[in-house]
Amino acid sequence: MAIHFQIRAGLLALVALALSFTPTHADTGYVRLTIYKAGWIIGGSGGGGTLDYHGQIYGLSTGGLDYGLVFGGSKTVLHGRVTNIRRPSDVEGVYVAGGAGIAVGAGARAIVLTNQKGAVLELSGRQVGLMANLDLSGLAISLD
C-alpha cells in the first residue's frame, strides 16, 4: 500500500513539474495606426494609434526615419492585427522594412513587419498624398 502511494505521489509530482515548464502561448491584438510621412532623400514619420488587447485599449505613438529615394508627403491609416505577443508591451519596438511605392492622391497599402521581440504586424489601409519612395525605413512604436 505504501509503495502505491509513493508511486502515485511521484507521478503527480512529475506531472506538476512538466506542466510548470509548459510555455505560455502567444496571443493576438488589433492595431490601428495613423502615420504622417514626409521627406526629401531623408524622410521622417510620426503618428499614433491604438492597440486593442483583450478588450483593453492602449494608446500607441509612432516615429521613424527613412533613407533612400524619398520624396513628398503622405498620410497613411492602417489597421490589422499584431500576433505573437504575450503582453501589450510586446508591441513596442523598432520595425524595419525596405520598400518601394508611389502614391498620387489615394492608394491602398499593405505591410507585414516584425520587431525584435517577435511581434508581427499585419496591416493594411489607405495612403493619401504625393509620395514616391525606394527606401529602407524604420518605425518605432511605443505605448503611451
* Phi and psi, residue 67, nearest 5°: -140, 130
> How many CB atoms sit inside 10 A of residue 74's CB?
23
Q: Are 24 and 84 in contact (CB under 8 A)?
A: no
Cell reading at 60: 500607441
DSSP, collapsed to helix, strand or coil, labels residue 18 as helix
User: 122 Cβ partners below 8 Å, 6+ apart?
Assistant: 80, 81, 82, 83, 112
Measure the CA dihedral 117/118/122/125, to 10°.
20
Note the pLDDT of residue 68: 73
Q: Are 26 and 83 in contact (CB under 8 A)?
A: yes
Note the pLDDT of residue 55: 95
Domains of the chain, earliest start first: 25-143 (2.40.128)
Tens-digit pLDDT profile for the chain (144 aa)? 555 555 655 544 545 444 444 445 789 999 999 999 898 878 888 999 999 999 999 999 999 887 777 788 889 899 999 999 999 999 999 987 766 666 667 777 788 889 999 999 999 888 888 877 765 677 899 999
How remote is the C-alpha of 69 from its chain's centroid? 25
